Structure 1
Amino acid sequence: MSCIRFNTPAQRAQMRAMAPAMITAEEAAELHPAPEVTESKIARIRLLAADTNPKIRESAASNHNTPVDVFEALANDPDDGVRACVARNEHAPCDVLRMLAHDPSDTVRGFLAINFYVPEDAMSTLSADDSATVQRLVRWKRELASA
């Protein structure tokens, strides 16, 4: 069984017709607010960040409610994937993102280069990166931002 859904022409036409009536992201957030961040949620994030499985640590690194000290620890994680999740998280502290501008992994620095919340001094460091890929991503983001 395939998980791919194929819409019929009639279904696609109906979705296009409904598009102007769709609500904005802000209206959706107002109708369905995010649950409150509790101490128990923070405790769960800390548990995830300490897990032996790097994929589980990635979930903590990707969370918007991760505490600063946990972000700092995850930015020093031995797994590139975990550090990459920190690098692309728009809620990671600026000092942590600055630190990742010197990460040994091109992948981590590449994800950092496309994060719109990276401080300008870290972007300047990335623009002089030894990796041509990282430099191209920096240029791409700057072109996208100026368009």
Structure 2
Amino acid sequence: MSCIRFNTPAQRTQMRDAGPALAAEDVAVLHLAPPVTESKIARLRLLARHESGGIRQSVASNRHAPADLLAELAADPDAAVRGEVARNEAAPVALVEALAQDCDARVRCWAVLNPGLPAAAVPALLDDPDDQVRRLAGWRREHAAV
């Protein structure tokens, strides 16, 4: 995903017009994305079916992707796509819990790091067959008490 942002003229106008109404300390708000519209959700749905795994990953990482779309992407054959769903903090808790049991260790690693994964699900990952998942689960358990 690119870090370059391309705003439409309408978006630039909206941000420019909103500026004077903000207090000086709130100027950073100008750099937020425009509101999520039905059109954006429709584009996410279309891109979720793209043949490129990288594009599906981008959709899976989007915090505005609807829960049903994230559930569809959580069943993607590409583990990298499932991993993006597992690390998406906006993903429903039940979905993150399910991905914590994924057949791919990378997906389980992302799930254990997702703050949405309930603490009660972490102990099972302490006995995971994968060393990295066990280490991350141990780290999560240690830092949850802090």
1:86 corresponds to: 85
SS across alignment from 2:129:
coil
Give CA deviations for 1:69-107 in whole Å, capped at 9, x if unaligned: 111011110001000101111011101101101100011
Q: Is 1:138 aligned with 2:137?
A: yes
Which whole-Å CA distance do the structure 2 matches of 1:34 and 1:74 have between them?
A: 23
1:55 CA drift (Å): 0.5
Percent of aligned pairs with the same amino acid: 46
TM-score computed with the length of structure 2 as normaliser: 0.75
Which whole-Å CA distance do the structure 2 matches of 1:122 and 1:47 have between them?
A: 33
SS across alignment from 1:96:
helix
Which whole-Å CA distance do the structure 1 matches of 2:121 and 2:76 have between them?
A: 20
Higher-Rg structure is 1
1:144 CA drift (Å): 3.4
1:15 corresponds to: none
1:129 CA drift (Å): 1.5
SS across alignment from 1:35:
coil
Q: What is the number of residues matched between the two proteins?
A: 123
Q: Is 1:122 aligned with 2:121?
A: yes
Which whole-Å CA distance do the structure 1 matches of 2:52 and 2:37 have between them?
A: 24
Structure 1 residue runs without a partner (length 5+): 1-22
1:121 CA drift (Å): 3.2
TM-score computed with the length of structure 1 as normaliser: 0.75
Structure 2 matches for 1:1-147, cutoff 5 A? 27=26, 29-147=28-146
